[in-house]
Amino acid sequence: MLPLAILAPIVLAGCQLPSFGAYKGATAQGQDAYKLWQGFFIAGIVIGGFVLLLIVWAVFRYPRRHQEIPRQTQYRHGIEIAYTVIPLLIVAALFVFTVITENEVDAVPKSDVTIDVTAFQWGWQFYYPATGKVVVGETLQSPQMVLPVNEAVTIHLKSADVIHGFYVPMFNFSRYAQPGVVNTFNFNVFHTGVYRGQCTQLCGLYHSLMLFSVRAVSPADFEAWVHQTGGQSPSIGHLKAQIHAQGPGA
């Protein structure tokens, strides 16, 4: 049974693995997290299946025949070492793969595009320092962050008031937006499209309306977009004053 448990991941590696309920990841970082999730799920299935077979085997192999206490055995050193060492090796392997994946996801290589993201009650501001372009939206407005595909994009995330959660499901990515703290990370989106995002930290009355989206476009379209001229976006302070004075439906 043990050789089967060891060979199962190798055999399954040549098949089209199911997603196990997770997104495949629209970014390089998201796909790294997705592969780790698949590996953990397969490991859980293999180990859980092995344990279940042992339980079933024990139930049918040693049914209760009388009221006497079965003969007790101890000091089976080989078995005791095996059931101690094998779980430790499994946990160590899972830990190593987790650290490797976290390092890849958290890596911040040099990029040509930087976006400063500020969360506030109850909306988002996306600022592009290279051009000074600002996109701000609150509650029902659902602002949109635009970025180029197949390029590393650096995000600086912070909060203007309380703790918020920056989450893009299709990216398999979530980070806290905290006041006084700047969290820095990278996105490398593979395909053009629009990806929904939301706040995942209960941050106040209109938390459920704190939505946004990420639009990934070609590098040429991105350059054209950031250099478009338009009216000045309202400041966070002005939007927050409107929200608290009138409510989100005003």
Helices (H), the chain: 2-12, 28-61, 77-106, 219-226, 236-246
| pTM score of the predicted model | 0.74
Burial of 69 (0-12, 13-18, 19+ CB in 10 A): exposed
pLDDT digits (tens, 9 = 90+) for 154-170: 999 999 989 999 999 98
What's residue 91's pLDDT? 92
Give dist(CA 218, CA 43) in Å, integer.
38
Q: What is the pLDDT of residues 40-71, one digit of tens each?
A: 889 899 999 999 999 998 888 877 777 777 77
What is the average pLDDT value for the chain, to the nearest integer? 82
Q: At the fourth CATH level, which superfamily is domain 113-246?
A: Cupredoxins -  blue copper proteins (2.60.40.420)
**What is the residue extent of each domain of the chain?**
2-106, 113-246
In tens, the pLDDT along 93-138 reads 999 999 998 888 888 888 889 999 999 998 999 999 988 888 988 8
The helix/strand/coil state of 158 is strand
